[in-house]
């Protein structure tokens, strides 16, 4: 339904609703709308024509809160009360960020490692959601001032790898800022929308989005499939990146280069001089985008830099991003030649050397016509326009970053939804009980790539109870995993013979960091061999235990039909098998299983025949 608002300047009523697009960035944030006259997206600017709002918040001692460019100055003068990089903390627990807490100048609270982090500023505690809301409010205010009407609806972008908790946190921040968040969309998808890549003649189009920002690097491989009747599908085929790699690292490398070549110990400099050096390094970096050399000085330190020197400093960093690109291509099952279009995003891609190198890697020219700072916000505005009904609809799809499964006998991970599966999705599998008359079945849900659940991450656990008494192996328990479009996982377990059912919704308190995710993936590759061997041993042990249980039940039940030698022999072979349970050699276990099997087979068959003839006898005609 369209919202009516009053244009204060002209005193007229506006009937169309305006939905804004917002790029809530780690370093910089922007807000954009579709220009009614031209139909093209444009970023909203302040009086000085700046579209960028630095994602920085300052808390003055008189209680004033400032956001953006004016807050940025306080990074030097009042670092303790100046908050930056809040996006890194979204949806995270203290445990998630403990390792890099020192990179934040402000105080992060660790009262409970499992809970979401809080930030302490002047005796008050703020959650990352509240802090992000302050940035969003600033953007909303800018739009309301310029457009002279209330802004209540928005599309906000997040990195493609953001998990459910992080997306939810972003949504909550919007709500807190007084915005109805109609859609959370992936940054690379937004960038593709800004380039109009959705509306092409080709039926399928593969895009690499290379996003190098201030502190993070993301590479995403997308596929757009167009069809006449259902519009365009955006699929994220794979994502990769480094959450600690960006323009800030280039600035640091330049600064270190100056200090090293002049034999200055950085630790002996005052905080102010260090900050000044860092800003000069950034200025030099930007200057060299269109000049051959830079000269300057800070304190007594000479700050000179040539393009050649800058390129040498950037190279190791650039190599890392290229490796991420290779991994993303590998995960998407593609090679460089399968990529139709390369899109450059993020302020750091302005550096010509980076553009040139990425273009060389993908072996094609890169798209850089749209301002790389603004492209994500502009795309969010395009998506907002689609939602407002002004463009043909497009559906956005996502993927699961890690495999999801349950724990089975022996602590093995049984994958139900493999990683990189498109969501929404659903998948299920049937299980059974291992004990006679078993009434309860514990279902533990895990996330990760390793074969043993203890190496993966537990997401949830619940018990399917009231299974009617049945012999082991008879119940049919169906476990279904369902992930909805918002990325929320629901697990359902149902005993099909009786209809007993139980379900839970898995909404993790906080998510994995990208490093953890990368580490888990790397681990699974490194350990594939040992994992396989371990899985084989575990499986052998489970099989042996089942055999022991069955045989013990068998001799107990059929005592009267067996002779003493059969009973004693079986018992001693059961003991032998039990003794192999701790063995690390699966072949030893299998050998004992086979021996027990061979020994019991003759009388097991004899009893079976007896049971059959007995049953026949009982029948009356």
Applying CB under 6 A, which residues contact ligand ADP? 25-28, 213-216, 246-248, 282, 285-286, 289, 346-348, 350-351, 373
Helix (H, G, I), strand (E, B) or coil at 520: helix
* 187 catalytic residue (yes or no): yes
41 binds, among Mg ion, ligand ADP, none (CB under 5 to 8 A by kind): none
**Residues 580, 581, 585, CA angle at the centre, nearest 5°?**
65
Catalytic, out of 130, 164, 211, 232 = 211
- Residue with Cβ nearer ligand ADP (25 or 68): 25
256 binds, among ligand ADP, Mg ion, none (CB under 5 to 8 A by kind): none
Is residue 25 involved in binding Mg ion (CB under 5 A)?
Answer: yes
CA distance 5 to 18: 10
Region from 148-156, 169-177, 208-216, 359-367 binding Mg ion, contact rule CB under 5 A: 208-216
350 binds, among ligand ADP, Mg ion, none (CB under 5 to 8 A by kind): ligand ADP
- Residue with Cβ nearer Mg ion (214 or 475): 214
Catalytic, out of 96, 130, 172, 187 = 187
CA distance 401 to 238: 8
Is residue 21 involved in binding Mg ion (CB under 5 A)?
Answer: no
CB of 213 to Mg ion, least distance (A): 4
| 82 in Cβ contact with 69 (< 8 Å) | no
The 3-class SS string of 124-180 reads: EEECHHHHHHHHHHHHHHHHHHHHCCCCCEEEEEECCCCCHHHHHHHHHHHHHCCCE
| 414 in Cβ contact with 422 (< 8 Å) | no
Residue nearest to ligand ADP (CB): 247
Residues paired with residue 238 on neighbouring β-strands, in sequence order: 221
CB of 373 to ligand ADP, least distance (A): 5
* 211 catalytic residue (yes or no): yes
Is residue 214 involved in binding Mg ion (CB under 5 A)?
Answer: no
CB of 518 to ligand ADP, least distance (A): 19
Helix (H, G, I), strand (E, B) or coil at 508: coil
Region from 211-219, 483-491, 504-512, 548-556 binding Mg ion, contact rule CB under 5 A: 211-219
| 109 in Cβ contact with 20 (< 8 Å) | no
CA distance 18 to 574: 75
The closest alpha carbon to 206, from 432, 364, 89, belongs to 364
**The one among 41, 213, 246, 448 contacting Mg ion by CB under 5 A:** 213
CA distance 268 to 551: 76
CB of 176 to Mg ion, least distance (A): 21
Region from 23-31, 33-41, 232-240, 359-367 binding Mg ion, contact rule CB under 5 A: 23-31
| 545 in Cβ contact with 581 (< 8 Å) | yes
CA distance 331 to 598: 47
- Residue with Cβ nearer ligand ADP (216 or 580): 216
CB of 352 to ligand ADP, least distance (A): 9
Question: What residue ranges bind Mg ion (CB under 5 A)?
Answer: 25, 213
Catalytic annotation, residues: 23, 87, 187, 211
């Amino acid at each position: 339904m369209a919202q009516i608002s009053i244009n204060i300047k002209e005193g007229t009523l506006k009937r169309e609703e305006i939905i804004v697009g917002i790029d809530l960035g780690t370093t910089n944030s922007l807000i954009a709308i579709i220009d009614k006259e031209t139909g093209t997206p444009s970023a909203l600017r302040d009086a000085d024509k700046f579209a960028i709002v630095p994602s920085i918040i300052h808390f003055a001692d008189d209680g004033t809160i400032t956001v953006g460019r004016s807050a940025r100055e306080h990074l030097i003068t009042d670092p303790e009360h100046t908050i930056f990089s809040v996006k890194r903390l979204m949806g995270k627990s203290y445990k998630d960020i403990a390792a890099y807490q020192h990179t934040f100048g402000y105080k992060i609270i660790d009262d409970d490692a499992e809970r979401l982090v809080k930030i302490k500023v002047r005796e008050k505690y703020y959650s990352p959601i509240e802090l992000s809301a302050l940035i969003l409010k600033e953007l909303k205010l800018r739009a309301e001032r310029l457009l002279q009407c209330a802004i209540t609806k928005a599309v906000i972008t997040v990195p493609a790898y953001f998990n459910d908790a992080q997306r939810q946190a972003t949504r909550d921040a919007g709500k807190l800022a007084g915005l109805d968040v109609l859609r959370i969309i992936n940054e690379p998808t937004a960038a593709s929308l800004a380039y109009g890549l959705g509306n092409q003649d080709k039926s399928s189009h593969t895009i690499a989005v290379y996003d190098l920002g201030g502190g993070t690097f993301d590479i995403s491989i997308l596929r757009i499939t167009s069809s006449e009747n259902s519009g365009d599908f955006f699929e994220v085929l794979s994502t990769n990146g480094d959450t600690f790699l960006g323009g800030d690292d280039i600035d640091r490398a330049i600064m270190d280069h100056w200090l090293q070549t002049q034999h200055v110990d950085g630790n002996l400099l005052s905080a102010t001089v260090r900050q000044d050096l860092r800003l000069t390094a950034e200025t030099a970096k930007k200057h060299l985008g269109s000049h051959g050399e830079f000269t300057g000085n800070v304190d007594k330190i000479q700050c000179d830099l040539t393009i050649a020197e800058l390129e040498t400093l950037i190279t190791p960093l650039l190599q890392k991003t290229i490796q991420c690109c290779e991994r993303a291509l590998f995960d998407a099952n593609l090679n460089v030649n399968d990529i139709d279009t390369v899109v450059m995003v993020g302020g750091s891609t302005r550096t010509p050397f980076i553009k040139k190198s990425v273009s060389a890697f993908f072996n094609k020219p890169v798209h850089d016509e749209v301002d790389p700072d603004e492209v994500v916000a502009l795309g969010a505005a395009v998506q907002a326009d689609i939602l407002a009904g002004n463009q043909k609809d497009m559906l956005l799809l996502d993927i699961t970053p890690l495999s999801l499964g349950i724990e089975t006998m022996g602590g093995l991970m049984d994958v139900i939804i493999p990683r990189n599966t498109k969501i929404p999705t659903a998948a299920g599998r049937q299980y059974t009980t291992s004990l006679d008359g078993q009434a309860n079945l514990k279902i533990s849900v895990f996330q990760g790539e390793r074969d043993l659940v203890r190496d993966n991450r537990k997401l949830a656990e619940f018990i399917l109870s009231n299974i009617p008494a049945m012999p082991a192996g008879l119940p049919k328990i169906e476990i279904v995993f369902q992930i909805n479009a918002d990325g929320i996982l629901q697990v359902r377990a149902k005993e099909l013979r009786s209809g007993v059912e139980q379900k839970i919704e898995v909404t993790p308190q906080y998510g994995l960091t990208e490093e953890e995710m990368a580490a888990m993936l790397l681990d699974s590759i490194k350990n594939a061999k040992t994992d396989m061997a371990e899985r084989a041993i575990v499986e052998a042990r489970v099989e042996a235990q089942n055999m022991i249980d069955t045989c013990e039940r068998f001799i107990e039940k059929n005592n009267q039909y067996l002779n003493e030698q059969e009973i004693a022999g079986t018992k001693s072979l059961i003991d032998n098998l039990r003794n192999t349970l701790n063995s690390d050699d699966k072949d030893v276990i299998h050998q004992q299983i086979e021996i027990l099997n061979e020994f019991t087979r003759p009388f097991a068959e004899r009893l079976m025949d007896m049971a059959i003839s007995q049953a026949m006898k009982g029948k009356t005609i």
